[in-house]
Chains A and B, each alone.
Chain A
Amino acid sequence: MYMAKSKTPGPTSQSPLPLTPPVFHILLALADEERHGYGIMQDVAWQTNDKLQLGPGTLYGCLKRMLAAGLVEESDERPDPAMDDERRRYYRMTALGRRVVRAEAERLAGAVTAAKSRKLFAGGKA
């Protein structure tokens, strides 16, 4: 299973697209604000209607690779004083990450348009 996945280019390879679903949703979660791990997980669950629950291993494995690829970076600021915990790490999207997630969203939108034109997809309800 792992080998099969690595055949599709991950974010670390030359061409980062297509992104794996966890990576794409993590980038989406970081699009408008910096978040810590639990915040990312909650936002991804919200985005996907609880379909994608990121486990700790998946989340931090992805973050490790995304940090290495320069898609995200660790933030020193503490943007959420209510939830703040000294030891929590916050992550923010880099300019590269923003470009990549935009390209991925456009790629997906293209695929959706194609699916619609073949009457495979009504839009709104999948």
Chain B
Amino acid sequence: MRWLSRIYRALLYTYPREFRLEYGAEMERLFRDRCGDVARAQDPLKTIRFVVDSGRDWMTTSIRERVSTARTLVAPAWKSARKSAPRGFVGEWVVTILMYLFATTTLVQAYVIPTGSMEGTLRVGDHMLVDRAAYAKPGALGRCVMPYHEVKRGDIVAFLYPEDTRQTFVKRVIGLPGDRIRMVDKQVIRNGRALMEPYTQHVDPSIRSLSRRLSRRARSVHDPARAGHV
């Protein structure tokens, strides 16, 4: 029961500040008193009911107090907004912010291409969104919700460069672990077969002035070690 009170004290921080300062101590005391009642009753059903009721009470009222505080703060804007869309105003923003926080940390990440190593497919300055969850190991639940697939040949992947994990590289997968890859006269040969690579551009290091860095990256497209690190 003591840990319940402790959890409740933490949950109090979800209420608006003024409300918490005004009533937080009283609410905590009331909760502790209720905990005592329930503990004395020694009835598991009552305990469960108490926990469920408290959870529901917390959820509905913390949102209600937040909304009512927000309404007093933005009362003029609220008044004009509620005529057209009373729920939309707050709801839309809450959803937008939550989606943004959730999506950028777990689902997608935005990158800008800084080099020309994938020229032809990705150009310098291109913006792209990387699906962060595509290759993630899903749990039993995640399998139903998230589309998941193995790394395939031909996929374009973003990964942390193994020799310097501060850098993120974007490359095309040409081989999977176990594949034998050879390069003979600008032609990549995988498991004894020449690859059709209409997307590649071969740059002669002697032509371009910034070619040393560029060509090293271009070669790494054809490096079988890369694919294993995806």
Contacts and interface: CB of A to CB of B under 8 A. Distances in A.
Interface string A1-27: 111000000000000000000000000
B150 interface: no
Contacts of A37: 26-27, 29-30
B40 to A, nearest CB: 13
A37 B31 CA distance: 10
Interface in B36-60: 50, 53-54, 56-58, 60
Contacts of B30: 37-38, 41, 56, 59-60
Interface in A39-58: 41, 53-58
Contacts of A118: none
Given A2-B67, A64-B22, A64-B23, A57 B61 contact: yes
Contact of B57 (A3, A56, A63, A64): A56
Contacts of B67: 2
Contacts, number: 66
Given A2-B67, A41-B34, A64-B22, A57 B29 contact: no
A125 interface: no
Contacts of A59: 27, 30
Interface residues of B, number: 29
Nearest to B56: A55
The bracket for how many chain A residues form the interface is 20 to 34
Nearest to A38: B33
Interface of A is mostly: helix
A60 B58 CA distance: 11
A61 B23 CA distance: 9
B39 to A, nearest CB: 15
Contacts of A38: 29-30, 33-34
A61 B68 CA distance: 10
Contacts of B65: 57, 61
Contact of A55 (B19, B26, B54): B54
Contacts of B86: 3
Nearest to B61: A57
A55 B58 contact: yes
A60 B27 contact: yes
Contact of B23 (A1, A60, A87): A60
A98 interface: no
24 contacts: A2-B60, A37-B26, A37-B27, A37-B29, A37-B30, A38-B29, A38-B30, A55-B54, A55-B58, A55-B61, A56-B26, A56-B27, A56-B28, A58-B57, A58-B60, A59-B27, A59-B30, A60-B27, A60-B30, A61-B65, A64-B19, A64-B22, A85-B29, A89-B26
Closest 4 CB pairs of A and B: A55-B57, A57-B61, A56-B27, A60-B23
Given A57-B61, A58-B60, 12 more contacts: A1-B60, A2-B60, A2-B63, A37-B27, A38-B29, A53-B50, A57-B58, A57-B65, A60-B27, A60-B30, A87-B25, A87-B29
